[in-house]
Structure 1
Amino acid sequence: MNFKQISIALYATYLTNRYGLKLKKVKTSKEIFDLRLEYAHILLNKLNISVKVKNKEKIPKDGQYLLISNHRSIIDPLIIELALENSNINGYWVAKKELYNSFFFGTFTRNAATLLLNRDAVNMTPFFKEIKSIVRMGSSIFIFPEGTRNKEDIPLAPFKEGSRIIALKNRLPILPVYIKSNANEVLKEAIVKRTKNLTVEIEIGDIIDYKDKTPLEENYKKQFLK
């Protein structure tokens, strides 16, 4: 790593932990959602990455949804936050337990309105109960159905069944979004070529009824991977 790359890594670490501490001090979900968006703007601006939204008119103005997205990069949640900023859709992110203990993300993740998913847990009942409680409070749920970042040379990794279960149990319409750009490659380029303006494109799909019996992965592919 050269000096510029080290400096951006240090800045990102500082900013992430600074906002983690700010999030820890706030008391309402609205304050948390606002800080998440502010953080996304600052970090992506620092990286000279802008977000282009295709089919922006398909984003509902308000309501509760299970938002699903493909996942390739650590900046995917920030991209989605920016895509939704002109709507009133706010949600809790489902996050794997490894992020809770991360030096880089731990403080931020624990305080940023996230749901801890322990994939090794034998009993998932507490996880689903927590989701139901959050939905009753009026929030949406945001999740990556692939379960982890897709690092393979394929457009989409297989979906886990949990996303569909969440939608069914909570009667949540499903809002599918697709990050068309490989955000991980864009991030790498942003770090190497800091003066270059880069764009990530995200596409909004049609709402999927939670009662739709078509497998969620199949429905998603029909919308985005024709």
Structure 2
Amino acid sequence: MRKIYAVYALILFVSSMLIMLIPMWLVSLLPAPLNIRCFMWLGRAWMHVYMPLVFCPVHTKGRQYFKKGQPYIIVCNHNSYVDIPATTYAIPGASKSLAKQELARIPVWSIMYKVGSVLVNRDDPESRKRSFTEMKEVLNMGVHMLLYPEGTRNKTDDPLKSFYDGAFILAIETQKPIMPTVLFNTRKILSAGKSFGARPHRIDVHFLPPVETAGMTQDDIPALKEHVFKTMWEYIEKSRSV
């Protein structure tokens, strides 16, 4: 049944993606940041149709923390490939994420990743530097940056893996607030390391109160990272016990 469901979800994803491809290509030709805003509106509308059709309803909590006109660095846990459609569904307004540069070389996918992501080659120091500059430009345009500070999917039994510094350096250098965000149940749908298959499940996306960085300096990076890590870890643990 897991394989049958996975085939159904995959076929529906590919067919709906082909429908969305032309309008997404058209909006990609618009100037920034209008292209990002229109692109994410289309992506969100797509996911609002697709996720219920694959029996994975997305429920959000804490959207009231987003202030109009304020871009946030959205720091999110990472458990599954399903995290991407779930956050596309849930995040209000325009946003970009950080993605591997090689993904933009894949036909069809290239349109989505070039507009919806800041691309980086993690093995290239110059590419990492350029991506950091681009993320600052994204925030200055009033667009959110979605970052997964664990770096890769969490395959452990712990609520979180240790965080990298990048999101917190970006927050302090731009003086933008961090929006801690916790995803629940995406691993239950599609787990890393298992054979081909998936199963439907409700997804919860909880936005936590933002953490202000105004007035912070580089010396505050370790404390800021620890504070956000502890906030998210404790929230996940508390939710598990409910």
Equivalent position to 1:220, from 195, 215, 228: 228
Tell me the equivalent position of 1:19.
20
Letter in 1 for 2:87: I
In structure 2, what is the Cα distance between the partners aligned to 1:68 and 1:17?
30
Q: Distance in 2 between matches of 1:136 and 1:57?
A: 22
Distance in 1 (alpha carbons) for counterparts of 2:4 and 2:60: 33
The secondary structure found in structure 1 opposite 2:163 is coil
Task: Give yes or no for contact 1:67–1:174 (8 Å, CA) kept in 2.
Answer: yes
Say if 1:60 and 1:79 are closer, same or farther in 2 by CA, change over 3 A.
Answer: farther
State the one-letter code of the partner of 2:206: E
TM-score after normalising by structure 2: 0.77
Does the alignment pair 1:115 with 2:118?
yes
Q: Which residue of 2 aligns with 1:90?
A: 94
Matches of 1:75 and 1:24, distance apart in 2: 23
| Deviations, residues 165-213 of structure 1 (Å, cap 9, x unaligned) | 111222211111111x23031247xx7556xxx3112222121122282
Asked if residue 60 in structure 1 is aligned to residue 67 in structure 2, the reply is yes
Tell me the equivalent position of 1:35.
42
> Who is 2:169 aligned against?
165
In structure 2, how many angstroms separate the alpha carbons of the residues matched to 1:221 and 1:3?
37
CA distance in 1, matches of 2:22, 2:178: 32
Residue 84 of structure 1: how far off its partner (Å):
3.0
- TM-score of the pair, normalised by structure 1: 0.82
Where do 5+ consecutive residues of structure 2 fail to align? Answer: 192-196, 235-242
1:33 aligns to what SS in structure 2? helix
Aligned length: 216
Q: Which amino acid in structure 1 is aligned with residue 211 of structure 2?
A: I
1:204 partner amino acid: F
Identity %: 22
2:134 is the counterpart of 1:130: yes
Structure 1 position 101 matched with structure 2 position 108: no
Go from structure 1 to structure 2 and tell me whether the alpha carbon gap of 1:62 and 1:75 turns closer, same or farther (over 3 Å shift): farther
Give the 3 Å change call, closer, same or farther, for CA 120–108 of structure 1 in structure 2: same
- The CA deviation at 1:19 is 2.8
Q: Is the 8 A contact 2:182 2:205 kept in 1?
A: yes
Change (3 A) 1:17 1:120: farther
Q: In 1, are the aligned partners of 2:74 and 2:145 still within 8 Å (CA)?
A: yes
**In structure 2, distance between residues paired with 1:103 and 1:75:** 21
